[in-house]
Amino acid sequence: MHEYSIVDSLLQLAEENAKKHNAKFVTKLEIKIGILSGVEPDLLKTAFETFKEGTMCENAEFIMHIQPVVVECKDCGKTSELKKDEYLCPHCNSPHIKIIDGEDMYLMSMELETDEEDS
């Protein structure tokens, strides 16, 4: 289950950025998970909920956006989102396609709570 190591890296990255910006806590992490990334969203959420305890992300909201597969057809030039497990251009049925999104996982944004002292 590589989701645990992904969460470990995500928590480390979040804490490094929080410390760099003098934040007390991370309040939100927003990620994008491509369908072809090999990451199982339910397992990732469970791992995050398990391992966030005792970290700067302990009370962070964890938002996942699932990215479908997006391809560009080398024959007709159109960009399309694949709706099924057929790797053919939905417009011209060509098998000559290039995957342009849906294979990766990204940290899209994070929100931090900083110390704001009244003067």
76 is an annotated ligand-binding site residue: yes
CB distance 21 to 115 below 8 Å: no
Q: Going edge to edge, which strands form the sheet with 61-67?
A: 61-67, 23-34, 105-114
Percentages of the chain per state (helix, strand, coil), in multiples of 5: 25, 35, 40
57 is an annotated ligand-binding site residue: no
Task: Identify the residue whose tokens are 């099924």.
Answer: 84
d(CA 54, CA 91): 50
73 is an annotated ligand-binding site residue: yes
Binding residues: 2, 73, 76, 89, 92
Binding residues for Ni(2+): 2
Binding residues for Zn(2+): 73, 76, 89, 92
